[in-house]
Amino acid sequence: MAKKRFYVVWNGLIPGIYKSWDECQEQIKGVKQALYKSFDTLEEAERAYSSSPHDYIGQGNKEKAKITPGSYPAEIIRNALAVDAACSGNPGMMEYRGVYVGTGEEIFHFGPMFGTNNIGEFLAIVHGLALLKQRGIDLPIYSDSRNALIWIKGKQCKTKLPRDSKSEELFKYIERAEKWLRENSYSTRLIKWETDKWGEIPADFGRK
């Protein structure tokens, strides 16, 4: 009889712990840069899931996943803001933050709050735009979310998340962000972070 194993999916369709390889495959199939690993016991899997995947999948993956301020390619603007979101499940508990590219210093952080990753990416960009304008600072903003950048251009968060008792608070933030976009102009450059070329964005949480 085959030994039972437990599978941790950090980055997949629905991150979590799965009790069979078939279930694990369903979550990672077609997911770019899926992060997963098997464990002998449920206790080991639970401990791993609550930690960074790079503590378990090897130093090579860690270096690829996130670059440090001193090792950026020359084409990356150091005097810039990078934003990113993370979500435990999708939808699930979402948070986002903004980081100064040159030093890795966290400039702002929001959450966790029930939502989706795309909404978090959208709100992070608007948060960055509003903060820079308020402080009179002209820095470009990097985001690795193509959807969020499109939503910003259209001044609307086109999420399919239902508006209900669980998401009502988040939708108030969405409305505030959309209102800000409609009522404010800005010269801030929004730049797509090219993960395939540069590794994970500096604001990455190290989990998905």
pLDDT (tens digit per residue) in 142-195:
999 999 999 999 999 999 999 999 999 999 999 999 999 999 999 999 999 998
Cα(121)–Cα(137) distance, integer angstroms: 21
Mean pLDDT computed over 104-124: 93
> 124: helix, coil or strand?
helix
Mean pLDDT computed over 79-102: 92
pLDDT (tens digit per residue) in 122-133:
999 999 999 999
Q: Supply φ then ψ for residue 28, to 5 degrees.
A: -110, -10
Q: Got the DSSP string for 20-50?
A: SHHHHHHHHTT-TT-EEEEESSHHHHHHHHT
Mean pLDDT computed over 3-11: 82
Closest CA to 94 of 161, 49, 165, 153: 161
Does the pTM surpass 0.75? The reply is no
